[in-house]
Structure 1
Amino acid sequence: MNESKNLFSELFRKRSKYAYCFLLVQLIGAVFIAAWLVSSTLGNYTASPWKEFPVVYVLTIFITSFVLDTIYLAYSSSKVEKVNRSQTWRLAPVSDIGLYLANTLSALFSFIYLMILQVLIITVPEFVYDLFINDHQDFSNFVSLLQRVGIDRILETALMFVLVGAALYVTVSFLNFTSHSLAEFLPGTSSKLIVNLIRLVLIIVLSWIMIDFIDNVLPQMVGIFEGISHGINRKMIEELIIIFSYDIVIAGINLFLINRFVEAESNK
């Protein structure tokens, strides 16, 4: 148990550095984007456009966070698979199941950590700007927005992002584990075609499932942020349960595969 915790801590520290790098790129990029927006757009409507730079900067960070988080998920999932198949990491004094859990959870927690940092970067400068420059107007609007949308809906949406991120991690591992396991059971040139066909079928099936999730989830997210519905959002709760169940089932299959069939690859 202690070995798994130590491995989780080591991997989390490693992935936190990736999160810092992604966040730094986002902050620098947001400066240039916000400066361009202020100089090229707001200059035509106000005499002092640079006074609005902090607001534009915060909005730019908020909008680019969705793109950056998606890229981070894709990047970190590739790192997760390298650890799962690495001979060096598989020699760690921990079981294969412990390695998989520590590896996947550390990536997921680093994703959550990145989102928390983004929230802090968005809210803290905005509050400082509002406190010293804007006479608390933005803070009042923010409180009004929270009351209209509801803390419960915001938490539901945050949980949805986390579960979708977890779904990506377990899905990528499932595809890799399954293809490698089939390759070992079906050796030879002819079996590679079968493996690729089965992998393609799995991708199509899982993609169909994920698309079905997205088609049902995104309208709910829009409804939350627009404050369309009130009271308990039963549809969102149902979607959370479905995606959570998907994560648990696929993760359970991955645990079985890595414990019984998936072997490490030689380091290159």
Structure 2
Amino acid sequence: MAIFNRYFTVLFRLKTKWISLLLIIQTVASFAMTFFNFNNGHVYINRHIFSNFFTLWLAIFIVQAWLFTGIFYLTTCFQNERVSGNQTWRLIPIDDKKFYFDNILSSFAALLFFVILEIICTLILSVVTFTFDSQFHRSLIELFADIGRHLQQVDLEIMFNFFGALMMVILCAFFGYFIISFLNYSSRALLDFLPQALSKAYFRIIAVLVIILVAWLAIKASNIGLQIISFPFRFMMGETTGTNDDLAIALLLMLLINILFWFFDTILFSKFFEAREGK
């Protein structure tokens, strides 16, 4: 457990190395978009900047927070696969299954840390806006008063929907890590079993064709199973009734899907996925 915690800390620091840079870029970019207008390749100073500068800055910052969170998530996905394929990391004295889980868990912790920092920065900018923008000051007070009235009507059903949606987001984040690793590990395993006489380009083409063929056969062979597995995603797309029962089923199935891909990934990673030097 001590080794697991030690390498979790190392991987967490590795994946949070660029957080401060991303937040600085986001802050500067949102400030520039507030202060300047961009039109037909020309840059103009915003003429209405002094009337609602902080409110506009806050709005742009919040919108960009979603973009930068997505960028950071993709960055952790890339770092996951880079660490997994690095021969130096694979030589550390820890079981492959534990190392894989350490890698995934540190990525999620880094993502959670980034989201918390985004929330803190948003709150700080909100306080500044609340102080200097009188209209935002009044609107925020009215909003909190309205929220306070609605909180009196909160029941177990609403709480279940809130925490259920939060759990769905967490499970979707893990699913993204698992499916990217699965595609990486399975394609690399297929390439390693192909004749070495073929060129790398042919390797990749054949691997893609094999993956498509396997997926097609799986769909044809288990249409009922596919409907069950796809339920969480159809739920998120609004194709189901959206009741509490549907949410509970979607959460359970998404959990089972994550466990299934985690099981496949650990087998592929420990048995078939060979790290390469200099990756």
Query: TM-score w.r.t. structure 1 length?
Result: 0.78
1:85 counterpart = 2:93: no
1:246 counterpart = 2:257: yes
Q: Which string of whole-angstrom CA distances, capped at 9 and with x for unpartnered residues, describes residues 165-207 of structure 1?
A: 211111111011111222233334568354231234567889x
- How many angstroms apart in 1 are the aligned matches of 2:267 and 2:77? 19
Q: 1:226 maps to what in 2? A: none
The one-letter amino acid paired with 2:72 is Y
TM superposition shift of 1:49: 4.5
- Shift in CA distance, 101/233, structure 1 to aligned 2, threshold 3 Å: same
Match of 1:174 among 167, 179, 182: 182
- Shift in CA distance, 20/218, structure 1 to aligned 2, threshold 3 Å: farther
Q: 1:255 maps to what in 2? A: 266
- How many angstroms apart in 1 are the aligned matches of 2:145 and 2:44? 31
Larger radius of gyration: 2
Q: Secondary structure at the match of 1:265?
A: coil
- How many angstroms apart in 2 are the aligned matches of 1:83 and 1:101? 12
Give the aligned length. 254
Unaligned runs of 5+ in 1: 224-228
1:96 counterpart = 2:96: yes
Farther off after superposition, 239-248 or 125-134: 125-134
- Shift in CA distance, 211/40, structure 1 to aligned 2, threshold 3 Å: farther
Match of 1:138 among 120, 132, 140: 140
Quick one: percent identity of the two aligned structures?
20
Q: 2:235 maps to what in 1? A: 216
The one-letter amino acid paired with 1:58 is L
Unaligned runs of 5+ in 2: 38-42, 220-225
The one-letter amino acid paired with 2:167 is L
**Cα RMSD (Å) of the superposition?**
3.6
Q: 1:162 maps to what in 2? A: 170
Contact residue 81 and residue 173 of structure 1 kept, 8 A: yes
Contact residue 31 and residue 57 of structure 1 kept, 8 A: yes
Q: 1:32 maps to what in 2? A: 32
